[in-house]
Amino acid sequence: MQINRLGFIRVAAASPRLRVADCDYNRVEIQKVIGKALAEQVQIICFPELSLTGYSCGDLFFQETLQREAIASLQELAHFMLEKPTLIAIVGLPVRIGNTLYNMAAVISANGIMGLVPKTFIPNDREYYEKRWFAPASTLTVPSIAIGTEEVPVATGGMLFRTPFTTFGVEICEDLWMPAPPSSLLAMQGAELLFNLSASNELVGKHRYRKSLVQQQSGRCNAAYIYASAGMGESTTDMVFSGACLIAENGTLLAESERFSRESELIAADIDLHTLRHDRMINTNYHPPGPVTLIDCTMEPVLPDRMLRTIPPHPFIPSEARAEENLSEVFNIQTHGLAKRLLHTGTEKVTIGVSGGLDSTLALLVTIKTFDILGLPRKNIFGITMPGFGTTERTYGNATKLMVSTGVTAKEISIVDAVKQHFRDIGHDPNEHSVTYENSQARERTQILMDYANRIGGLVVGTGNLSELALGWATYNGDHMSMYSVNSSVPKTLVASLVRWIADTQMEDSSRNILHDVLDTPFSPELLPADEDGRIAQETEHFIGPYELHDFFLYRMLRYGDNPARILFLARVAFAGNYTDDELLKWLRVFYKRFFSQQFKRSCMPDGPKVGSVNLSPRGNWRMPSDAIADSWLKELETISDKS
């Protein structure tokens, strides 16, 4: 699995067992953990602050014996790393320079000790008295120091470590807790990974705040933040340390250690460098401020046999823990977007096509909520069901019952006779079930909605969703058009989640049962006649593929700029066991072909509220020429297919 080539790197944070002031013991434990990290195919590992000596040595830091043993252990650890060309380790120790002592992080690779980074901010509060022992980085004046026969660079300003795969920076404990952490500057200077060697004691509620800091800093810096804190081997004279280790990426926590473990702790995660770089490319404020020292570190690639991160198969659907908050926010954005449009236009009536399908159901629920918020009577919502050649009893019945149960004005206008007349006018054989047969029905329905809206002095609420816009699964100037499209940035998978949430949390039993049956109805435009048993004959996903796949493809392409190879690789991980490689390739080809060829429909799509980070409005998130060619993307897929 070529995760390096696909933009991933495996990192780890560790909190080894230690003995206070026993450098030999601590070095051996660190080496054991490094062995475990190598078995996990980790590429960069971070250990806690002062991990070679222990953080809680107190005035023993002034002892020349401890200082000498720390440097000797560092040298032995560097020798141990000589035959570890795939791994870089970051450890902490006290380093004396002249008559001044510094709290430092040492970066070690197979090429030796690559650099020393001092702690920038030295705490001197009720819990930490580090200024008694250590000086801040600002007092450093020498660019390097001799350790054995090596001359090791020392960071007197920004220092970055550049590998063949990524660039990273280092800060120490208190640095993160300050108003302007050094990691912020390091990120601006190009660090994609930020490592923190820490010794943060435990207090009631502190871990929640610590975790929040790590996540926030990773998000603020568009980076991965790897945090390793001292564990229970530290002295408990005054404080207790839990071995808290955290790995976050761009605001999301990827891994967390078990705290208060009596054993050495190691957590690892695969960082998506491609995604971080994509976000930084879009954010044009990443201009490196000031000079920086670059240290080149060699690192050989590894070939992991599995991913150490979860790839959500349904990225638009919130997790169970966040469902209530996120779905409520989406619903509120939709309703308040429509409310503003109604207030701005002075409109108190709307028409909406109600088919008994999911999209029109969600649009109707949004409209009802909007009218309730504005204090407008629901009877001013004119729900129009327009049965045609493919309408089934199930969808017709659900549409009618839903309008009645929610108290909107229900209208039924059959399109059959009008469309037959239209076929006669244009000379189309009604037995020829071509695109003309289908689109004539969609455009007739839109004409009815528009003209009825004119008649009542209202506007048309659109029902089409984001997935349909991406695939062009809409009739141009038919269901493609409205006066305000409330679902335009809600993908199909999220439509279902929203309708289910609304049904279960905000509807009475009579409406809830109808909504659950709508949820169980296959997706269909119902433009072709039903089968002999009166069931839907035209199921959308049989023609264009599963919406869950297309929503995944769309999210990865637009949100992260992923190329076909990455999307296919991530889809294999996310949908493992559900789809074969051939199926994934087939539907990914369909996605690219339709996405490129159907841009002309998106170029003139109506207004609608943006609810998430992925949106196809030509006025907002997505500006694409209608005549762009998909050949390069499809060729890449063919190359992948040939190799497999």
Condensed to tens digits (0 to 9), the pLDDT of residues 7-52 reads 999 999 999 999 999 999 999 999 999 999 999 999 999 999 999 9
Q: Say whether 173 is catalytic.
A: yes
Q: Say whether 604 is catalytic.
A: no
Among 29, 49, 234, 468, the active-site one is 49
Instruction: Give the confidence band of 284 by pLDDT, cuts at 50, 70, 90.
Output: confident
Among 522, 501, 513, 502, which Cα is nearest to 395's?
522
Domain range summary for the chain, segments of one domain joined by +: 8-296, 323-643
Rg (CA), the chain: 31
Give the separation between CA 534 and CA 536, rounded to whole angstroms: 7
In this predicted structure, the answer to whether residue 530 has a pLDDT above a threshold of 70 is no
Condensed to tens digits (0 to 9), the pLDDT of residues 585-625 reads 999 999 999 999 999 999 999 999 999 999 999 998 899 99
Q: Where are the beta strands (DSSP E) in 297-399?
A: 350-353, 381-385
Condensed to tens digits (0 to 9), the pLDDT of residues 193-209 reads 999 999 988 889 889 99
- As a whole number, mean pLDDT of residues 368-376 equals 98
> Tell me: domain 323-643, CATH 1.25.40.10, correct?
no
In this predicted structure, the answer to whether residue 532 has a pLDDT above a threshold of 60 is yes
- As a whole number, mean pLDDT of residues 211-233 equals 95
Query: What proportions of the chain, in percent to the nearest 5, are helix, strand and coil?
Result: 40, 20, 40
Phi, psi of 479 (to 5 degrees): -65, -10
Q: From the CB of residue 58, how many other CB atoms can be counted at a distance below 10 Å?
A: 16
- As a whole number, mean pLDDT of residues 81-95 equals 97
- As a whole number, mean pLDDT of residues 66-82 equals 97
What average pLDDT is seen over the chain? Answer: 93
Q: Say whether 49 is catalytic.
A: yes
Listed range (137-141, 218-222, 238-242) with the worst mean pLDDT: 238-242
Give the separation between CA 276 and CA 561, rounded to whole angstroms: 11
pLDDT cut 70: percent of the chain above it: 96
Among 46, 173, 245, 297, the active-site one is 173
Instruction: Give the confidence band of 1 by pLDDT, cuts at 50, 70, 90.
Output: very low
Class of domain 8-296: alpha beta
Among 464, 460, 413, which Cα is nearest to 441's?
413
Instruction: Give the confidence band of 375 by pLDDT, cuts at 50, 70, 90.
Output: very high
Instruction: Give the confidence band of 497 by pLDDT, cuts at 50, 70, 90.
Output: very high
Among 23, 46, 119, 468, the active-site one is 119
Give the separation between CA 115 and CA 622, rounded to whole angstroms: 44
- As a whole number, mean pLDDT of residues 327-342 equals 97
